[in-house]
Chains A and B, each alone.
Chain A
Amino acid sequence: MSDQDSRDIDTSFLDRMAKPSGQQHPREESQQEDRRRSVRNEDPRAGPEVNTSTWDDRDGGSDRRPFGNPFDEIDQDEHYGALSGKDLLEMSDEEVIWEYRELKSRCRRDKGLRKHFRTVRKDVDKMLEKDREFNQITGIVARIGKMITVLCILFVFLGGMMDGAYSIIDKPYDWTVLEYLQFLIVMNVTIAWYTVPYGSILIIGAVLGFAIRYASGIIGDIRSDRIRYRLIVMLCQDGVTLRDVKRLKSTVKEYGGVEDLLYYFQPEEGSQ
């Protein structure tokens, strides 16, 4: 052990890992200095039963370090750097985006991982799409907006066609595709605006309906993006797909939303 005593270890990482002074664990300064000294002397390859110092994280990991604590005996058996569902939910968006970028750059090098990443992303996107369509308020609003748009466009075009049908007869037969497009899009709308009763209201309704659908789609995307990247990172890191999860967990059949699924990735209470 004498050569280990003389090891020159930079212990500044302990300060970096320490919590902000407001959340500092109530402990004497001298005790912290003791722990630093014992960390400097310990064998890094040995487990916590050999090394006396434990940089404790027993208060539930409230300092939100995503990678867990390398000196914590609870995490010794786990793959270092593995993120649990709880970690990912607690991480900020910036950190999750960093993880997602890191995953994508690893996919560039690893063909197997790339294939797995694509499968997972497709599955998660499909699941979230379903979630947005059926479960969230934005999905319902989007459907209402789409219905308004479709109905208004239908009435506008029907009315415009009926009123403008005679004008198409006057046209020469050698119309180009562009001219037909003009008639369908612009002339039809113009005719409907001026001649069809409530035509202008219908056209404004169609535009508004489209805007509602557009906006609610964006809101739904932003809401689900928070979950999307977390799920993709988590599934890729564990090397499983969403289908595996569904096969393993029969209760997922009654799956009601993303939150329920994320629940299964959270570490069990007993293991902590």
Chain B
Amino acid sequence: MRIVINVYALIPLIGAILMIVGLSASWISGASLPGWELVTNDDFSTYSFTLSIGVALIVPIAILTVVPAILSLVFREYSGRARLAIPPIILTILALLFIMDGNLAIIEQHIDFGGAGYMMAMAGLILGAAGQILNIVMKPIEFEIER
């Protein structure tokens, strides 16, 4: 049996997993508050409103990142992957802006961003966008596994 794996399509998949894991992990180390709690918190004023928007954007980004990655894994020369990669990349930039904005405004006050979730989500966002760009630009590296 011959299995062909496109390495550049795996990077956004790992990024998307990191995003989702990061959302459920603790963002604020002192209060041990998960990222999703920041979004669903009714009282927006407790934490930064811009931060909640940025965190909320991670879910659609993860979904939009996974789809083209899986398509280029299954259909190796899928022609629409460049077109599908544009929305998640734009949303990633927006989410990073929102999260950084909320971060900078609030970090001096009472929230400590030592949580692992924050780091994981940031790494996931950057890996996802970089992997998408690599998947479009670079010639695919493929490993063939013969059994």
A residues at B contact (CB < 8 Å):
97, 100, 125, 178, 181-182, 185-186, 214, 217-218, 221-222, 224-225, 228-229
Contacts and interface: CB of A to CB of B under 8 A. Distances in A.
B78 A225 contact: yes
Contact of B77 (A185, A214, A229): A229
B48 to A, nearest CB: 11
B71 interface: yes
A185 B79 CA distance: 31
A114 B41 CA distance: 55
A215 B94 CA distance: 24
Given A178-B97, A178-B98, A178-B101, A221 B79 contact: yes
B80 A182 contact: no
Main secondary structure of the interface of A (DSSP, over half): helix
B49 A182 contact: yes
Greatest chain A CB density within 10 A among B78, B80, B101 is at: B80
A251 B146 CA distance: 48
Interface in B49-106: 49-50, 53, 67, 71, 75-80, 84, 94, 97-98, 101
Given A178-B50, A182-B53, A225 B77 contact: yes
B77 A222 contact: no
Main secondary structure of the interface of B (DSSP, over half): helix
Interface of B: 49-50, 53, 67, 71, 75-80, 84, 94, 97-98, 101
A187 to B, nearest CB: 9
Contacts of B94: 181
Contacts of A221: 78-80
B79 A225 contact: yes
Greatest chain A CB density within 10 A among B50, B78, B79, B94 is at: B79
B65 to A, nearest CB: 13
Given A178-B98, A178-B101, A218 B80 contact: yes
14 contacts: A97-B77, A100-B77, A125-B79, A178-B101, A181-B94, A182-B49, A182-B50, A182-B53, A217-B80, A218-B67, A222-B71, A222-B78, A224-B79, A228-B79
A185 B76 CA distance: 35
A229 B76 CA distance: 12
Contacts of A225: 75, 77-79
Nearest to A179: B50
B49 A222 contact: no
Contact of A222 (B67, B75, B98): B75
B1 to A, nearest CB: 14
Nearest to B71: A218
A196 B78 CA distance: 41
A217 B77 CA distance: 16
Nearest to A186: B53
B80 to A, nearest CB: 4
Contacts of B78: 221-222, 225
Contacts of A178: 50, 97-98, 101
A225 B98 CA distance: 38
Contacts of A97: 76-77
Contacts of B84: 214, 218
Nearest to A181: B94
A246 to B, nearest CB: 22
A182 B101 CA distance: 12
Contacts of B71: 218, 222
